[in-house]
Chains A and B, each alone.
Chain A
Amino acid sequence: MKFFCQQLIKTPMLLVFVFMLIFYGIVAVAMPAEINQYAVVTAIGIDKAEEEENNEIYELTLLTFVPVAQQSFTEKYKLVNGKGRSVSEAMDIASLNIGREIGLSHLKMIVLSKEIVQEGVFKFLDYLIRDIQISSSTKIVTTDTLAKEFLKTAQKLDNESSIKVSEHILFNSEYIYSTESTLETFFKGEFGPTHVGLMACLSSKSSDEQTMPTAGSDLSNGSGGDGQQSSSAEEIITQCHVYVFKNEELVVMLGEREMKKVNFVLGDYSNGSIVVKNITDNHFNDANLTFEIFDNTISYHIVYQNGIPVVNIDTSLTLRLSEIEQESEPLQENVELYVVSQTVTNALEKKVRNSMADGINIMREHQVDIADFYTILHNNNPKAFHKFLDSLEDSDDYLNHIVFKVSVRIYEK
């Protein structure tokens, strides 16, 4: 003991450390688990509520995880509301309603209603982006219904299936949205040179589906008869649009088809399919062929002609024939051994070229540089590009003055 005390006196910081251990150790004896002090929020929905006394009121809906004393380890959630003149005020009130501090470290999704989006997204996201607990990979989506309703549907779906809504969005981001629809991607677009940000839009719909009882199951009320059927309206989540923002304002809502065309230009269309119609060649007679896309590589070659940039977009698509639809004759062709004919190749190239052209036109029309041609042109030749921009009346409208040339090559897998 004496030796230990002598050691402590020689190194006073050790004494401090021991004191800290004892002090905080005593505190730790009485400290509850941190999970019991915080309400773990997994999703936030922001809606516009009714105006009060000329003040705009916003309603915050929090999907909170509720720990329950049980052995089955199922997730139980609760929806908590809070209203306030700003997001932070609404958050404080929601916290009072729950009776715990809000913990946002496990936040997976932020849902904004259409009204909120039309009013201006940034003032709502500002609070959320400053909170360091919130990861920048949190999904942010809009909905054409109320965010509260959307969260209810999402909660129900999460409970009933193993696919979470956030995973649903991630999966679809590759196929449709061409954006991961996260806080990070949104702000990256907004703060980038194009000032264009994309946000996915989902909606919840009810579908009338009939549910059949399985054989041997108990029938409710036992009121005789076999094959009693029950029907209930189920809520599902569907893809809706992609919202395109520029300089913090909503510019355009792109539907699924329009987005697919833009995806061709982006070169992100690595999944999905292409349909060519009315093909007649040695193998087919007025058939509609569906090709699955395996790979899509895109490259840009830029030259300047008289100060105007000419962007040559070279696309290579690797496809595989997946479906043949022929009305007149039954299927005879062995799809596995089918070799794409020149007719089909030409039809595919034309289809892709047209889609890309449409995609570029969409961007031109709304002056939204989704494909980030600004960066491509700048990195290629900054001087020439900026000279070109300076020569324009409206430097924002550069897309309309750029010449695009598209070439497509099709490969068969």
Chain B
Amino acid sequence: MNIKKTLTQIKNQLHNSVDVANRSIQKNGVEIGFVYLKSITDNLIFAGSIFEPISEYEGDLDFSIISQIVKANDVSEIEKKEILDKILDGAVIVFLSNSEKILSVDIMNFNMRTPSEPPTSPVIMGPREGFTEDLKTNLSLLRRRFHSADLVLDSMFVGQVTKTKVVLAYIDNIVDKRIVKEIKKKLEKIKIDGIVDSYYLVTLLSSRPNSILKQIGNAEKPDIISAKMLEGRIAIIVDNSPIVLTIPFVFLEDLQSSNDYYTNYIYSTILRFIRVVAILLATIGPGAYIAFQLYHYNVLPFKYLITIADSTQQVPFTPFIEILFISLLFQILYEVSLRLPSYLGLATSVVGALILGDTGVKAGLISPPTVIVVAIAKIALYTVPEQSSQITILQYIFLLIGASLGLLGLIGGMIYFLAYANSVENYDTPYLAPFSPFILSDNKDGVFKVPINKMEIRPKSFDNQKKERMK
């Protein structure tokens, strides 16, 4: 094999990128060539584990000797067509002038985040590890939790440019294989340039990609993913993304928090009820308030009427504009708080609280009841943060319905939306299960939560092979 030619070819294939490193040495009449990417390999390991043993070896070098003297775990012979993929995966490719065989040594190492508590799922008691952007780390987090040969990690590459590694993780003797097949089929059909984050796959794997309803579950913590896999779900881990997807998904999953399983079950039940009430308040609270103001003043109790009437007298806007204005202000504050550097956060909260809340009311631009209603709705939104985007959209829709059509429209809108949600079935799993269709055994971990020793059966909302999980 002509080493120089080969190395030049590879460099050209990689468009002479600045991080392409190649080197060749002569040893005992044999030319040995190395090519790798500096940015994703560990130079120290290359020097200490690959280059040094080879350069210090006294005898004749051939392929089999080199593959033995190299001090690395993952050493394998590869085909020519695999060279580029291996280099891009962080391997060092070793060529020998006296052999047509090609050696690949995996020394991938790049800076990555250590597993830490994700900001979206904090817990008071319980594991605090979270997934990171490194696939290997994520797989190791899962492996630690399943000391079982039944844990299957099935990988495939998605994305014609990025060739992102996607791993399907499931428990072989629990999961419904039809769903696995279906997911694999869908992944294979994807013809996209690249997958930057796991969220790209959400749209591509959903049965109704244009729906506002969330159809694929996600989590950032390995304990949550493990629990879901034990129920018969499939986890989809995407390289470079800390968010792991789960299929199938039901709405109930977002009502459940990992904290619920690490505290007293009665307290968890109370918290779940509060979440349900919060979702209702967030979705239809502002709409109901505006509907009563515009159409149904006569059903308001007299004392509330006095409060609302007195406080809205001096406001220059109509009630609908006022509530839209306040909602918009809250949304702007939220966006700002996301993007603002932390040292400016204090100033923003002062501006938000004092100027919007207090001064605005005193100046007569906005009324206190409206501020309270909108504030409660916006805060209640985040009791279920996974559904915050959907609930925000619904909030505005119901606000419009309440302002246009009143109480009748609001209730009609609710019925419409719930009927729509009931018609969504992703991977043969009804979206609103176990509420509708009502599955009694699944409701043991629904709004009510029972102790773990009473949850003997796996969820019946979706198919799995083994129903019994505890005796």
Contact = CB atoms under 8 A, between A and B. Distances in A.
**In the complex they form, do A and B come into direct contact, defined as C-beta atoms under 8 angstroms apart?**
yes
Interface of A: 3-4, 20-21, 23-25, 27-36, 38, 40, 42, 65, 67-71, 73, 75, 103, 105-106, 133
Contacts of B210: 3-4
A34 B310 contact: no
A24 B404 contact: yes
Given A3-B210, A20-B405, A32-B319, A67 B297 contact: no
B364 A73 contact: no
A164 to B, nearest CB: 10
Nearest to A103: B298
A156 B294 CA distance: 31
A-B CB proximity, top 4 nearest: A105-B298, A24-B404, A67-B309, A69-B313
Contacts of A27: 404
Contacts, number: 95
Contacts of B299: 105
B306 interface: yes
Given A3-B210, A69-B310, A35 B297 contact: yes
A33 B364 CA distance: 16
A68 B404 contact: no
A28 B308 contact: no
A150 B405 CA distance: 42
B361 to A, nearest CB: 8
A103 B296 CA distance: 12
Contact of A65 (B295, B306, B311): B306
A17 to B, nearest CB: 8
Contact of A21 (B302, B321, B405): B405
B313 A32 contact: no
Contact of B307 (A20, A25, A34, A73): A73
B136 to A, nearest CB: 40
Given A35-B293, A68-B313, A21 B307 contact: no
Interface of B: 210, 290, 293-299, 302, 305-314, 318-321, 364, 368, 400-401, 403-405, 409
11 contacts: A28-B404, A29-B321, A32-B319, A35-B293, A36-B312, A67-B306, A67-B310, A73-B306, A73-B307, A73-B310, A106-B305
Contacts of B318: 28-33
Contacts of A70: 310, 313
B400 A21 contact: yes
Given A21-B404, A28-B404, A34 B305 contact: no
Contacts of B308: 33, 35
A101 B297 CA distance: 13
A289 to B, nearest CB: 44
A368 to B, nearest CB: 35
Contacts of B290: 28
Contact of B364 (A24, A68, A69, A105): A69
B293 A75 contact: no
A75 B403 CA distance: 27
B317 to A, nearest CB: 10
A4 B368 CA distance: 38
B293 A34 contact: yes
Nearest to B294: A31
A70 B364 CA distance: 10
A23 B409 CA distance: 14
B314 A69 contact: yes
A29 B400 contact: no
A3 B209 CA distance: 11
Given A21-B400, A25-B400, A25-B404, A31 B310 contact: no
Contact of B320 (A29, A65, A103): A29
A231 B57 CA distance: 119
Contacts of A20: 404-405
Nearest to B299: A105
A21 B296 CA distance: 18
Nearest to B362: A71
B294 A28 contact: yes
Nearest to A30: B318
A67 B295 contact: no
B293 A106 contact: no
B92 to A, nearest CB: 49
Nearest to A22: B404
Contacts of A73: 306-307, 310-311
Contacts of A35: 293, 297, 305, 308-309, 312
Contacts of A75: 306
Nearest to A40: B305
Contacts of A21: 400-401, 404-405, 409
A395 B178 CA distance: 86
Given A33-B312, A67-B309, A69-B364, A106 B302 contact: yes
A38 B293 CA distance: 12
A31 B323 CA distance: 13
A109 B320 CA distance: 33
Given A35-B293, A68-B313, A28 B403 contact: yes
A32 B309 CA distance: 12
B373 to A, nearest CB: 14
A49 B275 CA distance: 61
A25 B290 CA distance: 12
Contacts of B305: 35, 40, 65, 106
A27 B319 CA distance: 12
Contacts of B293: 33-35
B320 A28 contact: yes
Given A28-B320, A29-B321, A69-B314, 17 more contacts: A20-B404, A21-B404, A21-B405, A23-B404, A24-B404, A31-B294, A31-B403, A32-B319, A33-B308, A34-B294, A34-B295, A40-B302, A42-B302, A67-B313, A71-B311, A103-B297, A103-B298
